Each structure stands twice: as structure tokens, then as C-alpha cells.
Amino acid sequence: MLTIDALKAYGANTRAGLDRCLGSESFYLGLVEMLICDEKFDILQAAVAERDVSACLHVAYALSDTAESLGLTPLSQQLEQMVLCLQLQGDGAVLDKQLALVERGLDVLKDIQGK
């Protein structure tokens, strides 16, 4: 079950996320749930499969920004790392590795959500 305590154990900065939601725990948890199910993760997977670096950058950056706003530090850091690698290398050589890291981070959140 997705709870504040479970997110804290995951490494989330729940205080920052809650502050952005005016302290509403239910609103905050609802936004986290929405991010976990966000179709942008599917779009990111498709962009990686197509080796579309531009689309990967765009989607990973958007997801990173949302994760950071919610205080989901582990996931936002993985997404930020993907963006940084793409900006520095400018090619698809790192896409599979970076996507795997992002997917693992998302899987942890899905596991928390399912408890």
C-alpha cells in the first residue's frame, strides 16, 4: 500500500512533496499514484526502442521534473542521469542501460503501491 512511511523508506523526500500539496497526504499520494501509472513511461520505452534521442530527452526530462516535484528522489535521480547521459553523449548508446535503471526505480514504486 502506498503510504508516506513506505515512500520515506524508499528514499523519497515526502516533506517536500507534501509541502507542494499544501500538506494534503491524500492529494500527494494520489499524485504519486498518477506518476507511477503515467503513460510517459511507455512513451519513453518506445523512444528508446526507436533510438529517438530527442524524444527520450524530452520525456525523461518531463518525468524527472515531476518526480522531483513529488520528492521521489531515487526515481528523479535516475531520470536526471538519463538526461545527462543523453546530453553529454548525444546518441543512443546509453539508452538501454539508462532505461533499465529507470524501470527498476519505477518497479520499486509499483511494488510499494501493490503492498
The reported pTM is 0.92
* Residue, of 36 and 88, whose pLDDT is higher: 36
Distance CA 97, CA 7 (A): 25
Asked if pLDDT for residue 20 goes beyond 80, the answer is yes
How far, in whole angstroms, is CA 29 from its chain's centroid?
A: 15
Predicted confidence (pLDDT) per residue in 57-94, tens digit = 999 999 999 999 999 999 999 999 999 988 888 677 78
Q: Is 51 helix (H, G, I), strand (E, B) or coil?
A: coil
Q: Domain range holding 89?
A: 4-114
* Residue, of 110 and 94, whose pLDDT is higher: 110
Give the mean pLDDT of the chain. Answer: 94
Task: Give the up-direction half-sphere exposure of residue 64: CA atoms within 13 A in the CB hemisphere.
Answer: 17
Q: What percent of the chain has pLDDT over 90?
A: 85
Q: Please compute the mean of the pLDDT values over residues 2-21 and round it to a whole number.
A: 96
Q: Number of folded domains in the chain?
A: 1
Task: Give the up-direction half-sphere exposure of residue 22: CA atoms within 13 A in the CB hemisphere.
Answer: 1
